[in-house]
Structure 1
Amino acid sequence: MMPGLSMRRFLGLSMLLLVPSLVVAAPALEGEIQKQATNWTAIGMFAIFVAGTLFITKWAASRTKSASDFYTAGGGITGFQNGLAIAGDYMSAASFLGISAAVMSNGYDGLIYSIGFLVGWPILTFLMAERLRNLGKFTFADVASFRFAQTPVRVFAASSTLVVVAFYLIAQMVGAGQLIKLLFGLEYWMAVVIVGALMMVYVLFGGMTATTWVQIIKACLLLGGASFMAFMVMMSVGFSPERLFAGAVQIKTDIALGAGQAPDEAAAAGQSIMGPGNFIKDPISAISFGMALMFGTAGLPHILMRFFTVPSAKEARKSVMWATVWIGYFYLLTFIIGFGAILFVLTNPEFLEADGGLIGGVNMAAVHLADAVGGNIFLGFMSAVAFATILAVVAGLTLSGASAVSHDIYSSVLRQGRADSATELRVSRITTLALGVIAVILGIAFEKQNIAFMVSMAFAVAASANFPVLFLSILWKDMTTRGAVVGGFLGLISSVVLTVLSPSVWEATLGNPAGSAPFPYTSPALFSMTLAFLGIWLFSITDKSGRAAVDRAGFLAQQVRSETGIGASAASAH
């Protein structure tokens, strides 16, 4: 607990600050087309959800006594519960709002998100899950630095974690800001501030226990709501995928005709949603983007951290199995929801601006579809679920960022492992506050970006920096500290630099002229990930230092523990 501030008093202050913002929402102002009239049903459901999750946080705070409780819920989560929580972590604003928006806008091309996000899970299942649980304690840096010099590897791992968390946080904050702006009629920046404040309450007091249970509840609600939306869409077309796609093509053709295109061009534009090329323009971008989504999954710090919340390697494997089931099912639904949005949202003037754009921006496609198929009450429910989705993911991300600073930098590097649990916990909570402020500022700055694409940037960094180091540290005996640090930083720096130089940031966000981006491809992963692997290999095989001999000699002990779990229980005893 933070000094001088009781849990009850803090929650009371939080509600005093937040409830007026939630309830006294400004009405739609004349001339501001994007602001909507206040949706009282949605506000009521938001209030119920916020009250429920704050209650969970209060309960979790009473159980959060040590750093182990704060980071990993004391290792007491079952495989099934953790599988649902991982699915909840993964089914973020990018998945629900972003992918459905990408499918609505680009058709077939939007599927690259669903497939890319999903196919990373077999890598985690068969190569990583058990080994991570057997080798680690709180963070993936515990695993990456197992046989290497602690300080340089942990500095790299913490730096990489914070960059990935920052990119991922932007997407969630943008999604939350647009959602609340749409439903409450609040200013966008006010909406982002509300989310930041609530997220800090969850993490500061509840830690991993509260975050896990919020994730589980939210995953169940999101799966139920998305199932209903997909069912209603399919029922409207007689459960015929062919009619769904044919209807979507016809609507896209009509929109193109309405925009003044010639009939042949309009027909081609409508048909284009059933083939590639609307979003990913060239083969190199397609390969690079797919690699980022697939390998980035195995390098996301807030997902990797979840394997330390279960009591054994067997439960870790079970976690991934259940997570894959729920996530695979959910991504099937987002595809139907995206095409359903073409049928129900793009044809309804109620959801469109005067210029034909979507009210609230393209990311709100799924929210408008909820209104179209289920009316105001279901809209309120899905809005509250989407808000819950964002809050829970932001809490998990903040927790992983805070643990990188407090556990990897402060405790392991600065204090050389001699920090007591209470001090480490205090540093983690201070970091949480700092990350919350940064998330709000970045969320406001990146207001116009597609949130699924913002998350793909985080995946590109995770695939380029975290995954190569983690993968080779577990499986390659000749890897050394120098190789891990130099190769890892090469992947991290090159992925960030190339992302900034790509059209999506250089032109769309920074406002430079079209065609001026120095790096022409959609994602840097093909180049930066290759550079990381080459760097690790080259700087490891040329390393003849005494430290390198120690690193290589430690591989056998690491392998025995990672495969058998012998020694893991004692090392991570809580």
Structure 2
Amino acid sequence: MINLAVLPTDTTGEFTTEVGNPWANIGIFLVFVAITLFAVLRASRKTKTAADFYAGGRSFTGTQNGTAIAGDYLSAASFLGIVGAIAIYGYDGFLYSIGFLVAWLVALLLVAEMLRNTGKFTMADVLSFRLKQRPVRIAASTSTLMVSIFYLLAQMAGAGALVSLLLGIDSGVGQSLVIAIVGLLMIFYVFIGGMKGTTWVQIIKATLLLIGVGIMSIWLLALFGFNFSEMLGDAVSVANNPAILDPGLQYGESTLTKLDFLSLGLALVFGTAGLPHVLMRFYTVPTAKEARKSVVWAIWLIGGFYLCTLVLGFGAAALVGPETIANAPGGQNSAAPLLAYELGGTLLLGVIAAVAFATILAVVAGLTITASASFAHDIYGQVIKKGKLDAKGEMRAGRVTVVVVGVLAILGGIGAQGQNVAFLVALAFAVAASANLPTILYSLFWKRFTTRGALWSMYGGLGSSILLILFSPVLWGAETSFFPDVDLALYPLTNPGIISIPLSFLLGWLGSLTSKTSEDPVKQAEMEVRSLTGVGAEKATDH
């Protein structure tokens, strides 16, 4: 087991230098960067139209897209945050894995195929199909940008945490520099390769990640004679806390923490089907059948990964120890790298570090292309230019947006250093579930849904979730808050989902019932037929 006496520390018991060989870590990472840059540059030769830039020319198969979805979805939160949460909190940490996986059933059964049939590039295409274009596109784009930025914060925070452990960069300036480098790489990937380049980065990353966690999981189980119960027993012994196997270690202390868990669960289960960067992937396949196949394939890959997090989390608790993980640079986020170092030394640590960096780069690239499409296609192309913008102009606007979003992500990531990335992603899920999912479901399934209902639902869900976060312990008063020394928390829970998600559904219903005019019945009928059967969906692929 790794302990604080083995790793370099100062007189306070804190780590003062890197784990493993920093040059080996950097070298392996640079090999991955070189491979992905080659893929992006090749893809850039075929990125000539808006459909190429935003939807990869709709040329990917269901298997390829499903693998890319797994690469897009399995973020730093999944790899670094959840393994750390399980190592520290045991059973309660695994609840993140369960929530993230179960959410795909909502996406598969209610959203994926219908969304592919009714849209072109973005979620706003679907929401504005039978409603008033201008206000609905503005609202949908605003929501997309906010969710993307929240998610980007988590990925950038993960980058800083990982590098602080691997390279011994303890200073905030050093970690900020690393976050800036990750951001600049991501901007280059998306700026040059568009969705095609981004997709191949995600496919490569998903393959490496699944192989990496699979090897580590089998290795770990072999050390315990493939006896998972023995691993759990060692985890309890090292942690000196039998409660690590019981529910409630993190969320069972009081009624308030139990409500917080319920709020987290709602956000995780309903958030996936409202994540704009996941929804956008459904447009990269040629047919709705392939979109459905994408989700089924993604569920298998993602499910296998989350089973591995259970082994890795308790394995880290048994071999590394919760105390060592908590005191390491990056805190909980260091569990997976420390476990890799314990299992395979510098080489395996370097490989896992490269996989974690690949995870971060692939996800931020997907988020950035989504934010770019939302602004350039929906706001600039459809609202400002009123649909009269040609493909080259739209791509130009998209690339400018890539740079702006990248800079915002870098600045936000620098501010979010030290936060658990799984927790930060849960906030993004809450915003997505509140602002997007109710409006999507109403648009697809309720004939009486109106423009007013859509605006109330999106702005109400977005505004309430962000407002609750702004006045919660996430920002104020707690040890893990952004501002721990100032207590301005008015909302006692750390996740807003339990309030903001039902409120968004309610506002969509009320807004529609109080609308004086109904929407175009011809458009409603066309959307219903297209979403359920796919007839006429080919119109959406023309540009």
* TM-score normalised by the chain length of structure 1: 0.88
Is 1:289 aligned with 2:267?
no
> Which runs of structure 2 are paired with 1:144-163 in the superposition (5 Å)?
144-163=127-146
Deviations 1:307-332 (A, max 9, x none): 00000000000000000000001000
Percent identity for Structure 1 against Structure 2: 49
After TM superposition, give the deviation of residue 517 of structure 1 in Å. 2.3
Distance change (3 Å), C-alpha of 1:127 and 1:221: same
Deviations 1:382-436 (A, max 9, x none): 1111101100000000010111110110001111111111111111111111111
Is 1:403 aligned with 2:373?
yes
Partner of 1:450: 420
Letter in 2 for 1:394: V
Letter in 1 for 2:18: Q
Q: Residue 181 of structure 1 contacts residue 191 of structure 1 at CA under 8 Å; is this kept in 2?
A: no
Letter in 2 for 1:398: T
Letter in 2 for 1:357: N
Partner of 1:435: 405
Mapped partners of 2:161, 2:263: distance in 1: 29
Is 1:274 aligned with 2:245?
yes
Q: In structure 2, which of residues 12, 16, 29 is the aligned counterpart of residue 46 of structure 1? A: 29
For the residue of structure 2 that corresponds to 1:503, the secondary structure is coil
Mapped partners of 1:573, 1:516: distance in 2: 51
Q: Residue 446 of structure 1 contacts residue 509 of structure 1 at CA under 8 Å; is this kept in 2?
A: no
Q: In structure 2, which of residues 202, 205, 208 is the aligned counterpart of residue 221 of structure 1? A: 208
Is 1:36 aligned with 2:11?
no
Is 1:537 aligned with 2:506?
no
After TM superposition, give the deviation of residue 564 of structure 1 in Å. 1.3
After TM superposition, give the deviation of residue 459 of structure 1 in Å. 0.1
After TM superposition, give the deviation of residue 180 of structure 1 in Å. 2.2
Deviations 1:275-333 (A, max 9, x none): 22222243322221101000000000000000000000000000000000000010000
Q: In structure 1, which of residues 95, 98, 102 is the aligned counterpart of residue 85 of structure 2? A: 102
Distance change (3 Å), C-alpha of 1:294 and 1:347: closer
Letter in 1 for 2:327: G
Partner of 1:561: 530
Q: In structure 2, which of residues 474, 489, 514 is the aligned counterpart of residue 517 of structure 1? A: 489
Partner of 2:350: 380
Q: Residue 340 of structure 2 contacts residue 348 of structure 2 at CA under 8 Å; is this kept in 1?
A: yes
Deviations 1:54-109 (A, max 9, x none): 11111011111011100000000000000000000011100000000110111100
Partner of 2:4: none
For the residue of structure 2 that corresponds to 1:447, the secondary structure is coil
Mapped partners of 1:490, 1:278: distance in 2: 33
Deviates more, 1:284-293 or 1:389-398: 284-293
Deviations 1:458-502 (A, max 9, x none): 000000010000111000000000110112100000001111222
Mapped partners of 2:344, 2:147: distance in 1: 36
Mapped partners of 2:334, 2:138: distance in 1: 38
**Cα RMSD (Å) of the superposition?**
1.8
Mapped partners of 2:373, 2:519: distance in 1: 30
Partner of 1:319: 294
After TM superposition, give the deviation of residue 549 of structure 1 in Å. 3.7
Distance change (3 Å), C-alpha of 1:521 and 1:29: closer
Distance change (3 Å), C-alpha of 1:100 and 1:123: same
After TM superposition, give the deviation of residue 516 of structure 1 in Å. 5.7
Gapped runs of 5+ residues in structure 2? 1-7
Q: In structure 1, which of residues 471, 479, 501 is the aligned counterpart of residue 471 of structure 2? A: 501
Partner of 2:189: 202
Mapped partners of 1:335, 1:217: distance in 2: 23
Partner of 1:570: 539
Letter in 2 for 1:382: I
Mapped partners of 1:567, 1:193: distance in 2: 44
Distance change (3 Å), C-alpha of 1:129 and 1:360: closer
After TM superposition, give the deviation of residue 541 of structure 1 in Å. 1.0
Mapped partners of 1:54, 1:553: distance in 2: 47
Q: Residue 34 of structure 1 contacts residue 360 of structure 1 at CA under 8 Å; is this kept in 2?
A: no
Letter in 1 for 2:524: F
Is 1:244 aligned with 2:231?
yes
Q: Residue 35 of structure 1 contacts residue 360 of structure 1 at CA under 8 Å; is this kept in 2?
A: no
Distance change (3 Å), C-alpha of 1:247 and 1:402: same
Letter in 2 for 1:110: G
> Which runs of structure 2 are paired with 1:56-67 in the superposition (5 Å)?
56-67=39-50
Distance change (3 Å), C-alpha of 1:35 and 1:431: farther
For the residue of structure 1 that corresponds to 2:490, the secondary structure is coil
> Which runs of structure 2 are paired with 1:291-310 in the superposition (5 Å)?
291-310=266-285
Partner of 1:24: none
Letter in 1 for 2:416: F
Letter in 1 for 2:114: R
Letter in 2 for 1:141: A
After TM superposition, give the deviation of residue 566 of structure 1 in Å. 1.2
For the residue of structure 2 that corresponds to 1:506, the secondary structure is coil
Partner of 1:331: 306
For the residue of structure 2 that corresponds to 1:554, the secondary structure is helix
Q: Residue 161 of structure 2 contacts residue 329 of structure 2 at CA under 8 Å; is this kept in 1?
A: no
Is 1:90 aligned with 2:65?
no
For the residue of structure 1 that corresponds to 2:436, the secondary structure is helix
Mapped partners of 1:506, 1:104: distance in 2: 26
For the residue of structure 2 that corresponds to 1:504, the secondary structure is coil
Q: In structure 2, which of residues 434, 444, 448 is the aligned counterpart of residue 478 of structure 1? A: 448
Q: Residue 266 of structure 2 contacts residue 497 of structure 2 at CA under 8 Å; is this kept in 1?
A: yes
Mapped partners of 2:110, 2:38: distance in 1: 38
For the residue of structure 1 that corresponds to 2:475, the secondary structure is helix
Deviations 1:100-136 (A, max 9, x none): 0110111100111101101111111111111111101
Mapped partners of 1:520, 1:387: distance in 2: 34
Mapped partners of 2:101, 2:71: distance in 1: 14
Mapped partners of 1:429, 1:502: distance in 2: 35
Partner of 2:316: 341
Partner of 1:5: none
For the residue of structure 1 that corresponds to 2:226, the secondary structure is coil
Q: Residue 376 of structure 2 contacts residue 394 of structure 2 at CA under 8 Å; is this kept in 1?
A: yes
Mapped partners of 1:103, 1:136: distance in 2: 39
Letter in 2 for 1:250: S
Deviates more, 1:314-323 or 1:439-448: 439-448
Partner of 2:162: 179
After TM superposition, give the deviation of residue 155 of structure 1 in Å. 0.7
Mapped partners of 1:115, 1:510: distance in 2: 27
Q: Residue 236 of structure 2 contacts residue 318 of structure 2 at CA under 8 Å; is this kept in 1?
A: no
Partner of 1:8: none
Letter in 1 for 2:533: T
Q: Residue 161 of structure 2 contacts residue 418 of structure 2 at CA under 8 Å; is this kept in 1?
A: no
Letter in 2 for 1:74: G
Gapped runs of 5+ residues in structure 1? 1-27, 254-269
